[in-house]
């Protein structure tokens, strides 16, 4: 299954955020191609997918880029950081919700098993 444009955009923002943490200057950070190239092998996507993700981010003003002699230097904009933070918070909340549902299901199963054992114990001792 091909990754959605939104998912590719998140992967791009995560990679660019890592680069921003390493070097927050457009003048000295690594170029876009160097930063985003590992995404191709890690997520099995192509250049066209990365271009689609970059276009998605640019149209929503989530990237800040300058052209240098050695290539384009791209970092997340303030809006990009906000979008990534909101996405990560939603992922964390969803994981927490799934864990809560799982615990509730375990409690229900244990209660049912305990009720069956109590009923069978009552019948056998009678």
CATH number for the domain that contains residue 70: 1.10.10
Q: How confident is the model at residue 1 (pLDDT cuts 50, 70, 90)?
A: low
DSSP string, 42-82: HHT--HHHHHHHHHHHHHTT-EEEEEETTEEEEEE-HHHHH
In tens, the pLDDT along 50-109 reads 999 999 999 999 999 999 999 999 999 999 999 999 999 999 998 888 888 888 899 999
Domain limits for position 40: 5-80
pTM: 0.76
Task: Judge whether 22 lies within some domain.
Answer: yes
Q: What is the DSSP letter of 27?
A: T
Our count of domains for the chain comes to: 1
Task: Judge whether 36 lies within some domain.
Answer: yes
Task: Judge whether 9 lies within some domain.
Answer: yes
User: Tokens at residue 107, please?
Assistant: 């409690």
């Amino acid at each position: 299954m091909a990754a959605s444009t939104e998912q590719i955009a998140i992967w791009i923002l995560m990679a660019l955020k890592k680069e921003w943490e390493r070097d927050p200057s457009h003048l000295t950070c690594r170029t876009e191609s160097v930063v985003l190239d590992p995404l191709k092998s890690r997520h099995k996507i192509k250049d066209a997918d990365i271009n689609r993700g970059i276009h998605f981010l640019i149209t929503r003003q989530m990237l800040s880029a300058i052209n240098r002699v050695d290539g384009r230097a791209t970092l997340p904009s303030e809006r990009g950081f906000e979008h990534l933070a909101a996405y990560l918070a939603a992922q964390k909340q969803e994981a927490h919700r799934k864990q809560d549902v799982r615990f509730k299901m375990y409690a229900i199963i244990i209660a049912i098993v305990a009720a069956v054992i109590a009923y069978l114990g009552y019948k056998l001792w009678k």
